[in-house]
Amino acid sequence: MLKLPIYLDNNATTPMDPRVFEAMTPYFMEHFGNAASRNHPFGWEAEEAVDYAREQVAKLIGADPKEIIFTSGATEADNLAIKGVFEMYASKGNHIITATTEHKAVLDTCKHLEKNGAEVTYLQVQRDGLIDLKELEAAIKPTTILIAIMYANNEIGTVQPIKEISTIAKKHGVLFFTDGVQAVGKIPVDVIKDGIDLMAFTAHKMYGPKGIGALYVRRKNPRVKVTAQMDGGGHERGMRSGTLNVPGIVGFGKACELARLEMEADTKRISILRDKLETELMKLEEAYINGSTEHRLPHVTNISFKHVEGEGLLMGFNKNIALSSGSACTSASLEPSYVLKALGLGDDLAHSSLRFGLGRFTTEGQIDYTIKAISETVLKLREMSPLWEMYKEGIDLNSIEWAAH
Amino acid sequence: MAYSEKVIDHYQNPKNVGTLDKSSKSVGTGLVGAPECGDVMRLQIQVDDATGMITDAKFKTFGCGSAIASSSLATEWLKGKSIDEALTVDNMDFVEELNLPPVKIHCSVLAEDAIKAAINDYRVKNGKEAIKFEESVVH
């Protein structure tokens, strides 16, 4: 029996794996100690658990445990990396290069720094969502201190050419930070092979708990330092003060270990389901995949169904299927997804998009149900759409003078 | 965001979806909104030339559930009304009937605009002057 509702919004957050929950539970009541309490067994237990989890986390990304700084999540890690580098390397320069499709945690942090004297270059992306490496290299100047480009995009799943970016950064002596939130635990990420200097990632996108994330900060070749953004007891090698979230860290560690051991099998299974979903939905007329299909996360697809509006579409099945749309009909601005617009999509296609994020617990039965429900709703709404009628009559929609609205 | 039951009902069972012959002199067509804003409503009225009564109304809408519900409701309200009565329909009538939240008020404005546009189209087709309406504020 198929259980409803179906969850296909795994880019927003993932359900916690029961094995992660099991690993965490003793650390709420039984082993409640403060990992910084050095002089009694409660503290020792907590510290030991944190050390073990730090190793599990580091191992997933090919890092040394000492290079892992625990934070409250990826937003904090993004802030710490960018603000921390900006402050630490102020004597070297003030220029940061990022891209227009970054997560708001990166873009808004950069905007904040612009008010404090930073100069920020926002690279445009190409139609497939990838940055142009030549443009990146051309944007570097003597004052450039940081390149901040995400590993994989949260809306379209596009995976950036990380190795090539880090090679360019290294060549010019610029630090490279990547927001790895959507990639870590889903595809192989290795900070050494990828040449990453700093990387933000979080537990709740890989079947771990919310409220715990990490910043990887390279210690060798080069040794990277960031200025703390949270002052206090000097935890996390002075880079992030605050009592450690021991149960969260234990869960994060377990989630990383599971990801490392099961990623290959998970990916194989999930990508087959994603491909089935995509192939079937693309059989509908006037359906378009957004972003690169070649350089893409295996569990993500983003599709626009022309002449139906995304939110209206979601309403047809959102009691039974959890998805998100690039339409922003509920926002005051009425602006659709800035990521889709950055790809050069017209507002009409951006309004018509659905984002699918499959996960470890997605089943074939769920995908079959989703294909049917979405196909039926698209057809129903097109019967109701004046734009679809005009399209079918061969009227060029761009030739119509739409009332400003 | 949760939709009201009335919005859901109109969305699931929309009334009067369809197309009237827009070349007919007794049909008025209003097409409002824009694809880049995520809402386009087309509202059509069939008018009995002798009595000035609206005998039929049809819609097609590209938009969210509230936009679809507002236009479906508009067709229900218009049928059987005279043109003069139809002109008194206000966007707040939709907001109240459908319990639209503040972010969806633009849907109700669009529905009101669609009614006015359809009436003006009918008037112009029949040699009457288009009525000048004040610019809607909430868009």
Q: Per-residue pLDDT for B20 more than 80?
A: yes
Residue B38 pLDDT: 87
**Interface-testing mutation among B44, B64, B106, with chain A (most A C-beta atoms within 10 A):** B64
Chain A residue with the nearest C-alpha to that of B69:
A312
pLDDT in tens, A372-391: 999 999 999 999 999 999 99
pLDDT in tens, A114-141: 999 999 999 999 999 999 999 999 999 9
Do the Cβ atoms of A348 and B36 come within 8 Å? yes
A258: which residues sit within 8 A by CB, 6+ positions away? A17, A19, A20, A207
- Name which of B14, B31, B37 is nearest A334 (Cβ-Cβ): B37
Closest by CA position to A388, among listed B66, B62, B32, B19:
B62
Chain B residue with the nearest C-alpha to that of A325:
B64
Say whether A228 sits in a helix, a strand or coil: coil
CA distance A235 to A80: 14
- Using only C-alpha atoms, chain A has a radius of gyration, in whole angstroms, of 22
Do the Cβ atoms of B67 and A312 come within 8 Å? yes
Is the distance from CB of A17 to CB of A258 less than 8 angstroms?
yes
Using CA atoms, how far residue A72 sits from A24, A52, A102, A185, in Å, is: 16, 18, 20, 18
Q: Is residue B24 part of a domain?
A: yes
Chain B residue with the nearest C-alpha to that of A312:
B64
Contacts 24+ apart (CB under 8 A), B18-21: B18/B58, B18/B59, B18/B60, B19/A389, B19/B44, B19/B58, B19/B60, B20/B44, B20/B45, B20/B46, B20/B56, B20/B58
Query: Of A4, A265, A329, A334, which is the active-site residue?
Result: A329
- Name which of A312, A334, A384 is nearest B60 (Cβ-Cβ): A384
Q: Within an 8 Å CB–CB cutoff, is residue B103 touching chain A?
A: yes
Q: Is residue B135 part of a domain?
A: no
- As separate numbers, helices (DSSP H) first and strands (DSSP E) second, chain B gives 5, 3
Residue A326 pLDDT: 79
DSSP-derived letter for residue A329 is: T
Q: Is residue B130 part of a domain?
A: no
ipTM over 0.90: yes
CA distance B45 to B133: 19
CB atoms under 10 Å from CB of A171, counted, come to 10
Q: Within an 8 Å CB–CB cutoff, is residue B28 touching chain A?
A: no
pLDDT in tens, A262-288: 999 999 999 999 999 999 999 999 999
Q: Is omega for the bond preceding A188 within 30 degrees of 0, making it cis?
A: no
Q: Ramachandran region of residue A279, left (φ > 0), alpha (ψ -120 to 50) or beta?
A: alpha
Residue A325 pLDDT: 87
Chain A residue with the nearest C-alpha to that of B114:
A403
Is the distance from CB of A66 to CB of A152 less than 8 angstroms?
no
Residue B135 pLDDT: 62
- List CB contacts (< 8 A) between A377 and chain B: none
Q: What are phi and psi of A247, to 5 degrees?
A: -60, -40
Q: Which residues of chain A have pLDDT under 50?
A: 330
DSSP string, A126-177: -TTSPBPHHHHHHH--TTEEEEE--SB-TTT-BBP-HHHHHHHHHHTT-EEE
CA torsion B51→B52→B55→B58, rounded to 10°?
170
Element (H, E) at A123: strand A119-123
Residue A360 pLDDT: 97
Q: Per-residue pLDDT for B139 more than 50?
A: no
A window 313-352, beta carbon within 8 A of B: 315-316, 327-332, 334, 336, 346-348, 351
Q: Which domains does chain A have, with CATH numbers?
A: 6-11+263-399 (3.90.1150.10), 18-259 (3.40.640.10)
Q: Within an 8 Å CB–CB cutoff, is residue B68 touching chain A?
A: yes
- List CB contacts (< 8 A) between B17 and chain A: 383-384
Query: Of B8, B34, B37, B103, which is the active-site residue?
Result: B37
- List CB contacts (< 8 A) between B67 and chain A: 309, 312
Do the Cβ atoms of B68 and A384 come within 8 Å? yes
Q: Within an 8 Å CB–CB cutoff, is residue A240 touching chain B?
A: no
Q: Is residue B21 part of a domain?
A: yes
Q: Within an 8 Å CB–CB cutoff, is residue B115 touching chain A?
A: no
Q: How far is A402 from chain B (nearest CA, A)?
A: 5
CA distance A58 to B114: 60
Using CA atoms, how far residue A350 sits from A106, A145, A266, A325, A329, in Å, is: 22, 34, 30, 9, 11
Is the distance from CB of A144 to CB of A93 less than 8 angstroms?
yes
Is the distance from CB of B74 to CB of B114 less than 8 angstroms?
yes
pTM of the shown model: 0.93
Is-catalytic flag, B107? yes
B29 beta partners: B44
Query: Of B68, B78, B89, B107, which is the active-site residue?
Result: B107
Looking at residues B69-91, what average pLDDT do you find? 95
Do the Cβ atoms of A329 and B64 come within 8 Å? yes
Residue B138 pLDDT: 46
- Name which of B11, B17, B103 is nearest A315 (Cβ-Cβ): B11
Cα-Cα-Cα-Cα dihedral sign, residues A46, A47, A51, A52: negative
Query: Residue B9 belongs to what domain range?
Result: 5-125
Q: Is residue B89 part of a domain?
A: yes
Do the Cβ atoms of A327 and B38 come within 8 Å? yes
CB neighbour burial string for B32-70, b if at least 16 within 10 angstroms, e if fewer: bbbbbbbbbbbbbbbbeeeeebbebbbbbbbbbbbbbbb
Q: pLDDT: is B57 or A402 the higher one?
A: B57
**CATH number where B56 lies:** 3.90.1010.10
Is the distance from CB of B139 to CB of B106 less than 8 angstroms?
yes
B33 beta partners: B40
CA distance A355 to A126: 19
Residue A329 pLDDT: 54
Q: Is residue B96 part of a domain?
A: yes
Residue B36 pLDDT: 84
Residue A19 pLDDT: 98
Q: What is the pLDDT of chain A when averaged over all its residues? A: 95
* Structural domains of chain B, count: 1
Using CA atoms, how far residue A99 sits from A112, A123, B35, B137, in Å, is: 15, 4, 27, 36
Chain A residue with the nearest C-alpha to that of B109:
A405
Q: What is the pLDDT of chain B when averaged over all its residues? A: 92
Looking at residues B92-103, what average pLDDT do you find? 93
Q: How far is A128 from chain B (nearest CA, A)?
A: 21
Q: Is residue B100 part of a domain?
A: yes
DSSP-derived letter for residue A185 is: T
CA distance A125 to A128: 8
